[in-house]
Amino acid sequence: MAGLTLKSLRKSYGEVEVIKGVDLNVEHGEFVVFVGPSGCGKSTLLRMIAGLEEITGGDLYIGDKLCNAVEPRDRGIAMVFQSYALYPHMTVYDNVGFGLKLAKAPKDVRDKKVREAARILQMEHLLDRKPSQLSGGQRQRVAIGRAIVRQPEVFLFDEPLSNLDAALRVDMRMELSKLHQDLGATMIYVTHDQVEAMTLADKIVVLNAGVVQQVGSPIELYQRPANLFVAGFIGSPKMNFVDLTVEEIGTDTVTVSGKDIGPTTVPADPTSLKPGDTVTLGIRPHDLLEQSSGNLAGEVSLVERLGNETNVSLRLPSGASWLAVLDGDHELRIGQSLPLTFAPERAVIFDKTGTALHPR
């Protein structure tokens, strides 16, 4: 039993193409997260899978069935909306059982399934209430319960946690994770929050402007981002970037230097490079270390002392703004010059098209 397959999926609104050919394979039982900035098309893609948006081009397979022309209710999917979309005039019981009622399921079957879903989500005591009498987290649960009751092949989540406050979000994240383990169902989850993506996903799909940037596990995306976009999107705080010139090519290294950084040899795939080329070097804030004999230095512009670590905003000689996160507490003055270094293996080199040149 397969999960989900997208083949060259396209979506246009009139002349404007918003999804530009997406290929994706989702295994049964995988938790896949679509992540990307606003407007990247992640919600549109989800809605195309749900059947709420027409597919302009390409094929969608749910299970093994070609579903382009299939009605949402026959696709074996269930969806949890960002605003939960609970029917305000119905009780929780009727909300959860609405689909079954429409399908004319016998009353006792309906009752059994609704109560089972309520049990899984620990909301049996809420069944007689109306949505307006529930808290955000409770409504969330009812929305999930409505989805569970459909016993779908694929669960679709459209930014379900973005309406919750921070503390609740953390709790619900863990509950969702547990739910996934318990049900073992395929789940597709859309969010703009990369922390949610990193913590929940088996596989992350990073989207930008309707194009898939990279598909991989959270750690893969963190350690080997495919391009500048993914590198800058995944990981908080953002990766630092600087443009440098290639000085020398090695077998699997590249030596780069520039106004801000002295000559540094970084492991990379040098095949497409020659000396004199401009490349971008990326290094994460956590990977910068204070060292008096470091190969780069910046002027401190802002210091945030958090106790266990210190966030330092720096201005580099070329004018670029960088962020360093140093372990422990460092007392630094604004305006002072801070010498830094980093382990070359932690750096990533990007060519002028933005593609990452990881060592082979």
Name 107's Cβ contacts closer than 8 Å, sequence gap at least 6: none
Cα–Cα distance between 25 and 334 in angstroms, integer? Answer: 50
Phi-psi bin for 93: left (phi > 0), alpha (psi -120 to 50), beta?
alpha
Closer to another protein at the Cβ: 104 or 274? 104
- Both tokens of 62, joined, read 């749910």
Decide if residue 178 touches another protein (CB under 8 A).
no
Which position among 29, 39, 63, 72 is part of the footprint of another protein (CB under 8 A)? 72
Decide if residue 18 touches another protein (CB under 8 A).
no
Decide if residue 55 touches another protein (CB under 8 A).
yes
Draw the binding track, 136-175, toward another protein (x: CB under 8 A; -: no contact). Answer: ----------x---x-------------------------
Where are the extended beta strands (E) located within 164-257?
A: 186-191, 203-208, 211-216, 240-249, 253-257
Q: Are 260 and 296 a contacting pair, CB within 8 Å?
A: yes
Draw the binding track, 73-92, toward another protein (x: CB under 8 A; -: no contact). Answer: x---xxx-xxx-xxxxx---
Decide if residue 69 touches another protein (CB under 8 A).
yes
Identify the bridge partners of residue 155 per DSSP, sorted by sequence position.
Answer: 78, 187
DSSP designation for 227 = B
Closer to another protein at the Cβ: 82 or 199? 82
Kindly state the smallest distance separating residue 99's Cβ from another protein, in Å: 4
Kindly state the smallest distance separating residue 217's Cβ from another protein, in Å: 29
Return the biggest CA–CA distance within the chain: 77
Cα–Cα distance between 152 and 148 in angstroms, integer? Answer: 7
CA 100 to chain centre: 33
Decide if residue 111 touches another protein (CB under 8 A).
no
Decide if residue 228 touches another protein (CB under 8 A).
no
Decide if residue 23 touches another protein (CB under 8 A).
no
Which position among 25, 56, 91, 355 is part of the footprint of another protein (CB under 8 A)? 56
Cα–Cα distance between 346 and 15 in angstroms, integer? Answer: 43
Gyration radius from the chain CA atoms: 25
Which position among 98, 111, 162, 313 is part of the footprint of another protein (CB under 8 A)? 98
Closer to another protein at the Cβ: 3 or 51? 51
What is the contact surface with another protein in residues (CB under 8 A)? Answer: 10, 12-15, 50-59, 66, 68-69, 71-73, 77-79, 81-83, 85-89, 98-99, 102-103, 146, 150
